[in-house]
Amino acid sequence: MPEQSTEIKKKRIFSAIQPTGVFTLGNYIGAIRSWDTLQKEFECIYAIADLHAITVMQEPSALRQNTMRAFALMLACGMDPEKSITFVQSRNPHHAELSWVLSCSTMFGELNRMTQFKDKSAKHSDNINAGLFTYPVLMAADILAYNADLVPIGADQKQHLELARNIAIRFNQRYGDTFTVPDGYFPKQGARLMSLQDPTKKMSKSDENANACVYILDDKDTILRKFRRAVTDSDAEVVFREGKDGINNLMTIYGAVTGKTMEEIEAEFAGKGYGDFKTAVGEAVADHLEPVRTEYARLIADKAYLTQCIDTGSEQAYRITRKTLSKVFRKVGFIDRK
């Protein structure tokens, strides 16, 4: 009797990050750190989302440079081109093609409810372009083109993922089973880190105030300084409690890099002042990020290797999405393509 195959098809993961600047501690803890862990178990596909980046004004030469840097940073954070597909979004034309088709299955009202669109149009009131509005459709295309099962993202992207699911369900109902309906994957710890200067706002790499966020390439002195200046409150008590946004955020960060629970952190700093606590958070974060900084310095000096990884990864990505695109085009009634 032939032996039964015991191989179970691995779940597929897709995620992306925009090359809009050096990644912050928020990007790292909220998203990228889990990308690395997932590689051990799943088939992972990770992209640098440069098409998304131009929804806000970019200086062309800076975007090109930031895309290479973001790619190197992604590898420095542990993404391994031998294990996973790592590439640059604009190098696979299927993302933009599918986005158009999906935009015809997306309602204006749905896009109009997206909070990121509202936030970004308030922030960039001189450039409220159509791409900023249809941004979530492109994100849905990124995910659905690969039929991804799981999408590791920070909590701020939940609404976009929900929309991607709705688009997939609607398309499947209209044209027959085509797309996998993806689930979000949110890290247990630190899904949403807040600004160090205004802990009611999310830590964002495009924040004008450099003290508001820790960049993952900041050196130890800079990290310590930023934590020392972090906005807290006047209680001088390290406890996780409603109304203590600044301290809650620092405790979340400390927990995320040390693995300690909130109770353990409260016990560790009972009777100590905010000064000691802030220094401990700074030290722990700097130590945690040190290996990433070292690896980045090595990778960014090797342009030939990075270019080769991008070429290979983009080709692999293209081969996967070609199948989806053929199916989609057939379903919607476009004449056959070769």
What amino acid positions are annotated as catalytic residues?
120, 202, 205
Nearer to ligand ATP, 27 or 92 (CB): 27
How many residues bind to ligand ATP according to rule CB under 6 A? 20
Task: From 13-21, 54-62, 200-208, 279-287, give the range in contact with ligand LTN by CB under 6 A.
Answer: 13-21
45 vs 328 by CB, closer to ligand ATP: 45
Residue of 12, 13, 14, 26 interacting with ligand ATP (CB under 6 A): 26
Region from 5-13, 87-95, 166-174, 204-212 binding ligand ATP, contact rule CB under 6 A: 204-212
Of the residues 53, 151, 286, 320, which one makes contact with ligand LTN according to CB under 6 A: 151
Q: Which residue is nearest to ligand ATP (CB)?
A: 30
| Contacting residue, 25, 53, 68, 153, with ligand LTN by CB under 6 A | 153
C-beta of 145: minimal distance to ligand ATP in Å? 18
Residue the block writes with tokens 């990121």: 116
* Rounded Cα gap, residues 276 and 252, in angstroms: 16
Residue with Cβ nearer ligand LTN (14 or 296): 14
Instruction: Name the binder of 203 from ligand LTN, ligand ATP, none, CB < 5-8 A by kind.
Output: ligand ATP
Closest CA to 77 of 150, 10, 143, 27: 27
Judged by CB under 6 A, does residue 246 bind ligand ATP? no
Residue among 12, 14, 27, 43 that touches ligand ATP (CB under 6 A): 27
Q: Does the protein bind ligand ATP through residue 205 (CB under 6 A)?
A: yes
CA distance 110 to 97: 21
Binding at 24: pick from ligand LTN, ligand ATP, none (beta carbon under 5-8 Å per type): ligand ATP
Cα separation, 212 vs 208, in Å, equals 8
Q: Point out which span in 91-99, 150-158, 234-242, 265-273 binds ligand ATP (CB under 6 A).
A: 150-158
Closest CA to 193 of 218, 163, 227: 227
- Interface with ligand LTN in residues 39-58 (CB under 6 A): 49, 52
SS3 for the chain is CCCCCCCCCCCEEEEEECCCCCCEHHHHHHHHHHHHHHHCCCEEEEEECHHHHCCCCCCHHHHHHHHHHHHHHHHHCCCCCCCCEEEEHHHCCHHHHHHHHHHCCCCHHHHHCCHHHHHHHHHCCCCCCHHHHHHHHHHHHHHHHCCCCEEECCHHHHHHHHHHHHHHHHHHHHHCCCCCCCEEECCCCCCCCECCCCCCCECCCCCCCHHHCCECCCCHHHHHHHHHCCCCCCCCCCCCCCCCHHHHHHHHHHHHHHCCCHHHHHHHCCCCCHHHHHHHHHHHHHHHHHHHHHHHHHHHCCHHHHHHHHHHHHHHHHHHHHHHHHHHHHHHCCCCCC
Site membership for ligand LTN, residue 18 (CB under 6 A)? yes
User: Does 206 help bind ligand ATP (rule: CB under 6 A)?
Assistant: yes
CB under 6 A: which stretch of 72-80, 124-132, 135-143, 282-290 binds ligand LTN? 135-143
In the complex, least distance from residue 42 CB atom to ligand ATP, rounded to whole angstroms: 17
Q: Which residues of the chain form contacts with ligand ATP (CB under 6 A)?
A: 17-18, 20, 24, 26-27, 30-31, 153-154, 156-157, 191-193, 202-206
Q: Which residues of the chain form contacts with ligand LTN (CB under 6 A)?
A: 14-18, 49, 52, 139, 142-143, 151, 153, 157
